[in-house]
Amino acid sequence: MTPASASPSGPASEGWETVVGLEVHCELRTATKLFCSCRNAFGEEPNTNVCSVCLGLPGSLPVLNRQAVEYAMRIGE
């Protein structure tokens, strides 16, 4: 959209372009968390389904949950 084709007119809108961004969040129904093999269970006691990856401890390497990737690809179709 160029300033000449913009619908609002007047000195305040000259030289500006309208940009709209969306941020979308979703919850995938997977048995484990996204970057580790810890159980993904709602309603559990706090800090029970954690590991070194969840806690962000040095030296722990995350592994991507394959099922989450497959679900996300289905959403994108």
**pLDDT of 6 strictly over 60:** no
Angle (CA) 62-51-64 rounded to 5° is: 25
pLDDT tens track for 13-40: 678 888 999 998 888 889 999 999 999 9
Q: pLDDT at position 36, please?
A: 93
Distance of CA 33 to the CA centre of its chain: 14
Q: Is the pLDDT of residue 69 over 80?
A: yes
Closest C-alpha to 29, from 69, 56, 68, 70: 68
How far is 68 from 50, CA to CA, in rounded Å?
Answer: 18
